[in-house]
């Protein structure tokens, strides 16, 4: 989801007061974070098998530093899977404010690309739109320049790798990202982004183009996204989504989404996904949602999933 909009679960789903707030330790340090828990059940019709889980999906603590023109952020993240999981340094970067809307980031930071946010606190629903191909990058190491005003934003990043941070940049291996964002009217955002992963030889090059637009009017939010990707060696494909969210009351909302994920290699598999997700805010720091999704794999059958999620933010 929109990485430009720093919105929480309740702010997105329900148009309620923001769940996520910072705890100030002193004038230079504050912390924030969340706990994400879920119960899921999946019916795989082609395989004739069911699966279910009850997980602490994620726990994150973010440390925010501020020293005049220089700010910094360190995100510590735990991703759980029943009795196993990984704890890692998700992000760590500094930002230098150049003034007049310009700034520079350096370190490990999140990709510009993608309408759906990386963190569950910014999603309108439980699941992501695309089940086949991971065309939208996550975190990577590098340096980037950002500029923004009320009408336009630019961004350009030089990275170690678009898809896999390894900390090295060489003559034959690097990554790059660029974005332009326009806000031509109140509530309307247009985003166009490009990413490139330059491998050790031309067959390993990866490219992705990401376009999305969102429009907020009254208690409604609409979004559309299209991705075109080329992972090299003939591995090309495309993705799209349409989404609408309606705030029914100050504490209750509902999201409907349809998405498609298509890969052109091998047998040209395509998955069309339909999602419906009501959500509500219990308090300013506690949000819950329910989701039902059906993924249509064509001749291979359908996969139906149910999820109940609880997110506590601090």
Ordered DSSP codes for 65-110: EEETTEEEEEEEEEEEETTEEEEEEEEEEEEEEEETTEEEEEEEEE
The full set of domains in the chain, from first to last, is 9-313 (2.40.160.10)
Asked whether residue 10 carries a pLDDT value surpassing 50, the answer given is no
Q: Single out the residue of 175, 213, 171 nearest to residue 194, CA to CA.
A: 175
The pLDDT score that the predictor gives to residue 246 is: 96
Asked whether residue 153 carries a pLDDT value surpassing 50, the answer given is yes
Mean pLDDT in residue range 133-149:
95
Banded model confidence at residue 312, pLDDT cuts 50, 70, 90: very high
The pLDDT score that the predictor gives to residue 21 is: 60
- Cα–Cα distance list, 110 to 75, 178, 192, 287, 297 (Å): 11, 13, 16, 24, 31
- Percent of the chain surpassing pLDDT 70: 86
The pLDDT score that the predictor gives to residue 301 is: 86
Asked whether residue 81 carries a pLDDT value surpassing 70, the answer given is no
The pLDDT score that the predictor gives to residue 202 is: 52
Asked whether residue 219 carries a pLDDT value surpassing 50, the answer given is yes
Q: Single out the residue of 146, 145, 142, 208 nearest to residue 173, CA to CA.
A: 142
Asked whether residue 212 carries a pLDDT value surpassing 90, the answer given is yes
Higher pLDDT: 309 or 299? It is 309
Banded model confidence at residue 9, pLDDT cuts 50, 70, 90: very low
Higher pLDDT: 44 or 95? It is 95
Q: Which two tokens stand for residue 74?
A: 């360190």
Q: How many CA atoms lie within 13 A of 305 on its CB side?
A: 25
The pLDDT score that the predictor gives to residue 174 is: 87
Beta strands in 169-251 (DSSP E): 174-185, 188-198, 206-217, 220-230, 236-247
The pLDDT score that the predictor gives to residue 148 is: 95
Mean pLDDT in residue range 146-171:
86
The pLDDT score that the predictor gives to residue 16 is: 36
Mean pLDDT in residue range 85-108:
92
The 10 Å Cβ neighbour count of residue 21 is 14
Banded model confidence at residue 299, pLDDT cuts 50, 70, 90: confident
Q: Single out the residue of 283, 259, 212 nearest to residue 14, CA to CA.
A: 283
Which pLDDT tens digit goes with each residue over 244-268?
999 999 899 999 999 999 999 877 8
Asked whether residue 7 carries a pLDDT value surpassing 50, the answer given is no
The pLDDT score that the predictor gives to residue 12 is: 39
């Amino acid at each position: 989801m929109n990485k430009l909009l720093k919105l929480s679960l309740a702010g997105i789903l329900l148009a309620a007061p923001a769940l996520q707030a910072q705890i100030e330790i002193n004038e230079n340090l504050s912390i924030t974070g969340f706990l994400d828990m879920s119960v899921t059940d999946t019916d795989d019709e082609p395989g004739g098998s069911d699966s279910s889980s009850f997980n602490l999906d994620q726990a994150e603590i973010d440390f925010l530093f501020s020293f005049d023109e220089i700010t910094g952020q360190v995100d510590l993240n735990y991703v759980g899977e029943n009795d196993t999981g990984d704890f890692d340094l998700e992000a760590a970067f500094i930002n230098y404010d150049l003034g007049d809307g310009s700034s520079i980031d350096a370190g490990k930071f999140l990709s510009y690309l993608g309408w759906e946010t990386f963190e569950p606190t910014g999603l309108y629903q439980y699941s992501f739109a695309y089940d086949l191909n991971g065309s939208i990058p996550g975190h990577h190491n590098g340096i980037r320049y950002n500029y923004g005003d009320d009408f336009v934003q630019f961004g350009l990043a030089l990275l170690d790798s678009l898809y896999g941070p390894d900390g090295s940049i060489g003559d034959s291996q690097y990554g790059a990202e660029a974005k332009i964002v326009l806000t031509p009217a109140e509530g309307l955002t247009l985003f166009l982004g490009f990413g490139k992963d330059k491998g050790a030889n031309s067959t390993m090059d990866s490219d992705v183009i990401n376009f999305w637009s969102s429009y907020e009017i009254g208690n409604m939010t609409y979004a559309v996204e299209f991705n075109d990707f080329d992972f090299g060696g003939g591995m090309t494909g495309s993705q799209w989504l349409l989404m609408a969210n309606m705030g029914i009351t100050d504490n209750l909302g509902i999201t409907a989404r349809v998405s498609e994920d298509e890969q052109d290699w091998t047998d040209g598999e395509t998955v069309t996904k339909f999602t419906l997700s009501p959500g509500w805010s219990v308090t300013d720091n506690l949000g819950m949602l329910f989701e039902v999704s059906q993924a249509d794999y064509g001749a291979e059958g359908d996969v139906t999933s149910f999820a109940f999620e609880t997110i506590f933010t601090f």
